[in-house]
Structure 1
Amino acid sequence: MEEVSREGEATITLPDGTTAKLPFLRGTHGPPVIDIRTLFNQLGCLSLDPGFTSTSSCFSAITYIDGEKGELWYRGYAIQDLANNCTFLEVCYLLLYGELPSVVELERFENAVKNEMLIHMKLIDFYSSFQQGAHPMAIMVGVVGALSAFMHEDIDVMVAEQREAAAIRILAKFPMMAAVAYRTAYGLPIVFPKKKFGYTENFLYMMFSDPMADDFTVDPVVVNALEKIFILHADHEQNASTSTVRIAGSSLANPYACVAAGIASLWGPMHGGANEAVLAMLDEIKSRENVDTFIAKAKNPNDSFRLMGFGHRVYKNFDPRNQIMQDIAHEILTHLQCNQKNILELAQELENKALNDDYFIKRKLYPNVDFYSGIVLEAIGIPRDMFTVIFALARVIGWMSQWHEMMSESVKKIGRPRQLYVGAQKRNVQPREMREGRESISPEIINSPRKVWSPTKEKAAN
């Protein structure tokens, strides 16, 4: 990691005249940082930053984003350069170890991943406890969390080699865990990986092959498209799910449990579920003739319609992943000659109209990576409820690299944000008969026939 330079001090003065001097730090790129770690000790007050929009939570040498310029780097390499010239496993090696692998290093890494792809049969049995039709992300939260029960005592999170082994194991096992989640949800028989296939080929094989068929051919164009999607989603600085993994890991928890927490965070439509929301929006718009109507609805503050896949917390110019994803969409739809071309044309019409509308320009609302990724995934044949699982499959190496980096720090602090309390003043408990009555619980819950526990029923049962 490059050295952080200290460029003097920032002085903060309170209304009563009390002052504090705080280090003013600068990294290799990006905005400088005021180090407020001693703020409370010096002034007895805290900073307030809901959503952590102006807070750096850590030092990191993995991913760099410049939202104003629309830049995204992994370990100093531009995302466009990596997507056009590297395989996904090369990028995984880069994120975990800091450098792109040599031919020999890549071969060893690929072999290490292949050797760990199978999951424990007892873990496969665990899938049977989920009913057919269960959401694949719900299955993944449970199964990845359960993985910590199979690999707990073998991991000392303080040892670098064991952290690296843990990262390789979950990277290797995630394609099978994801594929089995899909096949469980849809009531399909389980397919095991084959060493003759590469990482992404194995995932597609385990997802789509028919166990009764003699052979399965993996389309190289589809493999290339999915590899690029994995690269584009492999890491994205301190986003919600990555921060979740880091905070969980700061307690020295099992890394697989930390990843399960990250999956839960990723599941939300404000994070990993956005591309599914984009397709739902395009289904609602239906045709290019309706675009102007829905653009107007999006600008109407009294209308609930939103343009999904537009805007980003960090990018204020353009998302550098979006153009790559649009190119992938063109390539895959042309190659497969599928009927999603109408959806792609609709998406492009919507994008062009929005990019030339002052309303969206002034608010810096540009298409992000989610705007086209769902179109590609659906064209490949991946069902919409698997989209976020694909995101998790790509992001797991980023989570583990960030976790490994955090655990490598000489001084470790458990994540423990503070708050600005706005509740009641201190008060005394009144006897029950003197308390004012109020409808704290809605009548619907009180009168619901599905009560969790009833002492009367319990006595009757005994």
Structure 2
Amino acid sequence: MAELVAKLELPGNDSIELPVKQGTAGFDVIDISKLGSKGYFTFDPGFLATASCESAITYIDGEKGILLHRGYPIDQLAVESNYLDLCYLLLYGELPTKKQYQDFSKTVSMHTMVHEQLTAFFRGFRRDAHPMAMLCGVTGALSAFYQDSLDVTDERHREVAAYRLIAKLPTIAAMCYKYSVGQPFQYPRNSLSYAGNFLQMMFGVPCEEYKVNPIVERAMDRIFILHADHEQNASTSTVRLAGSSGANPFACIAAGIASLWGPAHGGANEACLKMLEEIGSVDRIPEFIEKAKDKNDPFRLMGFGHRVYKNFDPRAKVMRETCHEVLSELKIDDPLLDVAMELERIALEDEYFISKKLYPNVDFYSGIIMKAIGIPTSMFTVIFALARTVGWVSHWKEMLDQPGHKISRPRQLYTGHEQRDFIPRDQRS
């Protein structure tokens, strides 16, 4: 098959041929890396039409509602697998054998504790500090304690750093919650599953034994799976950008956490719960449905539709089933959960929502689950970051493993002043 080439006509009767690269799926990509030699760059605010890297980790087709991790559909992984299975897949490219899974799980469990001196960091935060502020700061501080895994040119260092980040983020996330409510930190219990261990660190106390509810444990595991990676989003691109400079892995993940903290990125499920609080009760739903349908009304229904998925969110079906399992198991009497379930019913039956494909998305259901099991809204994005860490680490490792990777250096369209002479202060009008 002949190589595809795009021909770009340039000013001054000049032209350049640009190779067209084809991936295993998705759009073809025009390679513009040689365009700079002609004195031109492309203008693409937000990089919405730019492939910033080559990756084999995650594929998304938003039009068809497809999300694949290393080729495996997300719904199959969420139902048939568990989070550590997925972690191994994202890191190494294949699902683990039974022996590989046992070794991987054991190695992760060996790294769940954090340096005891790290607990002193928390005392520097106010008790009412946002958990994301603490998570970002403490994650970045890991580089001060684990200096034997900072050499990004060393493959073994990179692997140890990956294990440490995957293992320690649940511990640190739970510490953020415990500090905010004034309870003592809970040490990890390595006999528990990844999700079960996180739940006991969140809700256990030293004075009594915490028993993990298997329905809640499975729901937490699925939340982790469904948020593990989502291709080249803002936070993943931030991790790659930071990593391209050779920054240590803990600093790179802290940068990803900072990016995720933005309300346009990681705050969707928190925004969904705030919307439910604004609606308040089932009898007020018709009023807010009408507001949502009014183009001139600033009110927007959060948790419906998706920027990437134009048809349906492939993660939402699994999360919906899990959500109903949890609510049935816990039998919680909460008016906001009643509001959520009625909104779901309307969105799946109302012609307006169906015609615009405004189906409940993964954030809608995950927010309801986390509220039902007692996780405060301020912790929602923290749990998102915890789950996404393996995706960030996988992309970071993939980038560093690729030969010839370069420091990222986006260009700009300069619209400021041309060169002008400096005027002494006493001569300025």
Band the TM-score falls in, shorter-chain normalisation: over 0.9
Aligned to 2:306: 312
Aligned-pair CA distance for 1:324: 1.4
Q: Does 1:72 align with 2:67?
A: yes
Aligned to 1:459: none
Q: Does 1:425 align with 2:418?
A: yes
- Would the aligned equivalents of 2:344 and 2:360 in 1 still touch at CA under 8 Å? no
Q: 1:336 aligns with which of 319, 330, 336?
A: 330
Q: How does 1:303-452 map to 2 (within 5 A)?
A: 303-340=297-334, 341-352=337-348, 356-357=351-352, 361-362=355-356, 365-436=358-429
Q: 2:126 aligns with which of 111, 124, 131?
A: 131
From the superposition, tell whether residues 307 and 351 of structure 1 become closer, same or farther in structure 2 (CA, over 3 Å): same
Aligned-pair CA distance for 1:427: 2.0
From the superposition, tell whether residues 41 and 310 of structure 1 become closer, same or farther in structure 2 (CA, over 3 Å): farther
Distance 2:13 2:302 in 1: 47
Aligned to 1:456: none
Partner amino acid, structure 2, of 1:20: I
Q: Does 1:218 align with 2:207?
A: no
From the superposition, tell whether residues 425 and 361 of structure 1 become closer, same or farther in structure 2 (CA, over 3 Å): farther
Q: Secondary structure at the match of 1:113?
A: helix
Q: Secondary structure at the match of 1:106?
A: helix
Aligned-pair CA distance for 1:238: 0.4
Aligned-pair CA distance for 1:365: 4.4
Q: Does 1:46 align with 2:36?
A: no
- Would the aligned equivalents of 1:191 and 1:206 in 2 still touch at CA under 8 Å? yes
Unaligned runs of 5+ in 1: 437-462
From the superposition, tell whether residues 55 and 385 of structure 1 become closer, same or farther in structure 2 (CA, over 3 Å): same
Q: 1:22 aligns with which of 2, 9, 18?
A: 18
- Would the aligned equivalents of 2:149 and 2:161 in 1 still touch at CA under 8 Å? no
Aligned to 1:294: 288
Distance 1:6 1:92 in 2: 38
Distance 2:242 2:99 in 1: 35
Aligned to 1:444: none
Distance 1:140 1:96 in 2: 23
Q: Secondary structure at the match of 2:5?
A: strand
Distance 2:355 2:414 in 1: 38
**Structure 1 range deviating more: 183-192 or 335-344:** 335-344
Partner amino acid, structure 2, of 1:26: Q
Aligned-pair CA distance for 1:142: 0.4
Aligned to 1:119: 114
Q: Give deviations 1:284-318, integer Å, cap 9, x for gaps.
A: 12334433432332343432212212333321111
Matched residues, number:
427
**Structure 1 range deviating more: 183-192 or 153-162:** 153-162
Distance 2:188 2:8 in 1: 59
Distance 2:168 2:126 in 1: 22
Aligned-pair CA distance for 1:201: 1.0
Q: Does 1:59 align with 2:26?
A: no
Partner amino acid, structure 2, of 1:387: F
Distance 1:100 1:6 in 2: 35
State the identity as a percent.
52
Q: Give deviations 1:197-225, integer Å, cap 9, x for gaps.
A: 12111111111012111x21110110000
Q: TM-score scaled by structure 1?
A: 0.89
Aligned-pair CA distance for 1:371: 1.6
Aligned-pair CA distance for 1:15: 4.4
Q: Does 1:256 align with 2:250?
A: yes
Partner amino acid, structure 1, of 2:361: N
Distance 2:173 2:36 in 1: 45
Q: Secondary structure at the match of 1:21?
A: strand
Q: 2:135 aligns with which of 107, 127, 140?
A: 140
Q: How does 1:259-270 map to 2 (within 5 A)?
A: 259-270=253-264
Distance 1:141 1:64 in 2: 28
Distance 1:153 1:103 in 2: 29
Partner amino acid, structure 2, of 1:311: G
Aligned to 1:37: 33
Distance 2:322 2:2 in 1: 43
From the superposition, tell whether residues 372 and 154 of structure 1 become closer, same or farther in structure 2 (CA, over 3 Å): closer
Q: Secondary structure at the match of 1:357?
A: helix
Partner amino acid, structure 2, of 1:149: A
Q: Does 1:110 align with 2:114?
A: no
Aligned-pair CA distance for 1:229: 0.7
Aligned-pair CA distance for 1:6: 7.5
- Would the aligned equivalents of 1:6 and 1:24 in 2 still touch at CA under 8 Å? no
Aligned-pair CA distance for 1:346: 2.9
Aligned-pair CA distance for 1:106: 0.6
Aligned to 1:449: none
Aligned-pair CA distance for 1:269: 1.3
Aligned to 2:229: 235
